[in-house]
Amino acid sequence: MRAWTPGLLGIALLLVQGCSEQADPGDSGQDVEDGLDAADEGEPGDEGDPGPADGDPTTLPLGLEAVYRVSGPGGVDVGSAAWVEADGRLWVAWERFDAAFTSSALWLASSADGAAWSPPGALLAGGPAYRASPSSATLAGQGWVYFAEAADLYGQVSLRRARVAGGAAGTPEALATVPGLGSLLSWPRFLALSGGRVALAFRDGSGRPRVAYSADGVLFDPPVTVHTGAAAMAALGQAPDGWLAYAYQTGTGGSMSSWVRTSADGQAWDEPVEVSASSTNVHDTTLVPRLDGGLDLYYIWPCSAAGFCLHRRALAADGSLGPEQQVTLPEVGETSKPEGLRLPDGRLLLLWAEISQRGAGGEPSEQILSGCLLAGDAPPVE
C-alpha cells in the first residue's frame, strides 16, 4: 500500500483522516462533469448473492463473489446512508465527489433484494457546489435524509434535511446552526435515537469530537464534547437497550488509531477503548446494533500489501470488546467508510466505498460504493 504524504488532495486527507483542521485542496486535473456523467451512465455493477434470510451466519471473510456494486466508476463515493421503506424496498443515498474535490452531489439507488441495484440517479437537483454527509432517519413514520451543504469546501456549512419516499425527495429544510460546526471537514453525521430524538456527531473547528441532541430533529441543544483532543471520523451508535457509543480516530497519515467510548446518558462518557491493536493504521469505525443487544464495530486496517480490509468486533456497554473478525478478503478491493443497516429479516446490509484508484501521492482518486448482505453478527463479548 502506498505511503500517505502531507500533500493529499483536499478532502482526500479526510478520507484517510489525520487530525489537522484543514488540508490543501490541490488539483487532480479531472473535471467534475466527467466524474458525474460517468456515474450516471455506468451500470450498477456485479450483483452478489442475496444469501439466506435466516439460518447459519455468513461465512467470513468474504470473497469477491459475495460483493455487489451500487455505484459505478468515474467519481469518489464516500459516505452513505441506507433505509427500508414501508413496501420493503431498500434505498441508499451517498455522496459523490469529483476527483479534484471541487464539488459533490447526493446520489440515490434502490433494490428489492439488496443485491440487484437500480442505476444511480441524483437525489436532489441543483444546489450549491457541495452536498455531502448523508444520514437517514425515520421520525414519526416519515423518512428523512439529513445532509450538509456548502459553497466551498472550507466555507461555512449549512445543515439540511429533506423528506424522502419512493425515490423522491422534498424541498430541503434548513436546520438550526450548531455551535462549533465549521466546514464540511467537520464531517457531520446524524443518528435517529429512541424516543424520536436526533443526534449529530461531528468534530469542531479544533478537531474535537462532539455530539449535539435534538428533540424535534431541527433545533439542537449545545453540543457535548466527547474527547478534548483533536480527532476525526466521528461516529455515534445506539444499542437496542439505549446506551450510546462514540467512535473517532487519532493520528496522522499512515499511523492512525481508532477509539470508542460508551455512555449511559449521552452526556458523561467512559474512558476511551482502542478499537483494534492489530494494526497501527486503523480507520473509519462505524457502529451497528446487534441482534442480541449491544453494538458491533466495523472498521478497516491494511490486511495485505493490497490495502485495507474490513474487520468487525462486538462492543458491550462497559467498553469490553469481543474477538476481532475479518469481514473481507483483499480480492474484494480496498474498503473504506463502512455503513450498516439492519434489515427486517435480521440480516445486515453492509456498504462501503471501494478505493478503486489512487493518485500519485496515494490519495484516493476513484471510489465506488459497494456492499454485501450478512447473516449473523460478530462473535459476542466473552
Look over the chain and give the mean of its residue pLDDT values, rounded to a whole number. Answer: 88
Q: What is the longest distance spanned by two Cα atoms in the chain?
A: 51
Alpha-carbon span 219 to 200, nearest angstrom: 11
Question: pLDDT band at residue 8, thresholds of 50, 70 and 90?
Answer: very low
pLDDT digits (tens, 9 = 90+) for 214-231: 999 999 999 999 999 999
Task: Report the pLDDT value the prediction gives residue 55, as an integer from 0 to 100.
Answer: 57
Residue 294 lies in a domain: yes
Query: How many residues can be counted in the chain?
Result: 382
Q: DSSP H helical segments within the chain, as ranges? A: 12-15, 32-41
220, amino acid identity: F
The answer to whether position 3 is within a domain reads no
Q: Is residue 7 a part of any domain in this protein?
A: no
Cα–Cα separations (whole angstroms), residue 75 to 69, 90, 132, 238 = 14, 23, 14, 32
CA distance 76 to 287: 23
* DSSP per-residue letters across 258-281: EEEEEESSSSS-PPPEES-SS-SB
pLDDT above 60: residue 141: yes
Residue 21 has pLDDT above 70, yes or no: no
- CB-hemisphere CA count at 13 Å for 84? 16
Could you tell me the three cell numbers for 118? 437500480
Check: CB of residue 319 under 8 Å from CB of residue 271.
yes
Within-domain flag for 382: no
| Maximum average pLDDT range among 5-14, 343-352, 358-367 | 343-352
Joined grid coordinates for residue 239: 444499542
Least Cα distance to 264 among 237, 244, 248, 282 occurs for 244
Residue 362 banded pLDDT, cuts 50, 70, 90: confident
Task: Tell me the pLDDT tens digit for each residue of 288-317.
Answer: 999 999 999 999 999 999 999 999 999 999
Give the Cα separation of 202 and 231 in Å (integer).
10
Instruction: Assess if residue 380 is contained within a domain.
Output: no
Q: What is the CATH number of the domain that holds 316?
A: 2.120.10.10
Q: Note whether residue 5 is domain-resident.
A: no
How many domains are contained in the chain?
1
Classify residue 346: in a domain, yes or no. Answer: yes
Nearest CA-CA partner of 365 in 20, 23, 3, 8? 8
In a 3-state reduction of DSSP, which class is residue 33?
helix
Task: List b or e across 334-363, with b for residues whose CB sees 16 or more CB atoms inside 10 angstroms.
Answer: bbbbbbbbbbeeebbbbbbbbbbebbebbb
- Domain span including residue 284: 12-374
* Residue 1 domain-assigned (yes or no): no
Q: Indicate the burial class of 140 (C-beta count within 10 angstroms; 0-12, 13-18, 19 or more).
A: exposed
User: pTM for the full model?
Assistant: 0.88
Q: Which long-range contacts (CB under 8 A, 24 or more apart) does 146-152 make?
A: 146/175, 146/190, 146/198, 147/95, 147/106, 147/172, 148/184, 148/188, 150/183, 150/184, 152/183
Preceding amide of 61 cis, omega within 30: yes
